[in-house]
């Protein structure tokens, strides 16, 4: 089980959070990219090995959004969460 430290509520089980996905580059303008590139942006989720910058929502807690670095190899959180 992943334990995420909320800056406002302290250490909490991942069951209190909803995964918001990886922090990615900005959304492309659908009018300026090909249909294939747009479909890839919407459906292809990168699955890198190692540290990933992710967003988590404390849905069953204070409601804050956190940005964390999580290592996909070990499931460990690297560094302190950043609340935004």
Residue with tokens 């990219």: 33
Q: Which residue, among 4, 1, 9, has the nearest Cα to 55 in the 3D structure?
A: 4
What are the tens digits of pLDDT across the range 7-55? Answer: 999 999 999 999 998 887 678 899 999 999 999 988 987 788 999 999 9
CA angle 50, 17, 74 (to 5 degrees): 25
- What average pLDDT does the segment 74-84 reach? 79
CA distances from 66 to 41, 46, 50 (A): 23, 20, 19
- List, in sequence order, the alpha helices (H) in 1-84: 35-43
- Cα–Cα distance measured from residue 8 to residue 38, given in angstroms and rounded to the nearest whole number: 37
Query: So what's the pLDDT on residue 46?
Result: 78
């Amino acid at each position: 089980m992943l334990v995420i430290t909320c800056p406002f509520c302290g250490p909490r089980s991942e069951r209190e959070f909803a995964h918001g996905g990886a922090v990615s580059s900005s959304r492309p303008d659908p009018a300026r990219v090909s249909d294939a590139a747009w479909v890839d942006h919407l459906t292809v989720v990168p699955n890198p090995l190692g540290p990933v910058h992710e967003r988590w929502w404390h849905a069953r807690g204070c409601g804050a959004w956190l940005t964390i670095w999580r290592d996909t190899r070990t499931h460990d959180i690297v560094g302190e969460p950043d609340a935004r």
